[in-house]
Structure 1
């Protein structure tokens, strides 16, 4: 609805001004994912992908978002997210591929393919 879209635009503007942390960013990302604004959802949580000890739900949510944004598959952030997903929960990552929640198109990224093959093709 137009009112909802206007409200989401307001949230986008406010999100630049308010205190940001990974928890709030992830919550906001879920809202935008629900509205199929995957580009903005990705933008909200990408700054946290590089952090040490990143929460697994943030990494797996990012991978889920990227499944709607195939142009991200070749990005360094996506590659790093795959690496961290393997460190955090390799079985969960392999299941994403097995259940086709993550496209095999992402394996066109040579680094991702190498990690996938080492982890999921045992």
Structure 2
């Protein structure tokens, strides 16, 4: 009986040590994952800033080229704003009159954009 109790105590200690070791490994893995996530977030932020700067440079270049051939980009921007206002009103009216259809179209557009961005 004493031997069985000693064996049980030894087994219990071994299980406790194994659980503690697994906990330590899990904590170390979680810390490593957190470090990697932080590093990736920093790289994503830097890439986003670089893309924004590149887009701004391209927009300035296009604007300069259009002005060089006689197209006034400020007039075009004003016209686009007017059309955007009309589009915004049309979308608001559509959402009020047919909310389920609008939701379906938005979902379909999201799926299409998701497929296109994954390529």
TM-score range, shorter chain: under 0.3
TM-score by length of 1: 0.20
Structure of larger gyration radius: 2
Q: Which structure features the higher share of helix residues?
A: 2
Higher relative contact order (CA 8 A, sep 6+): 1
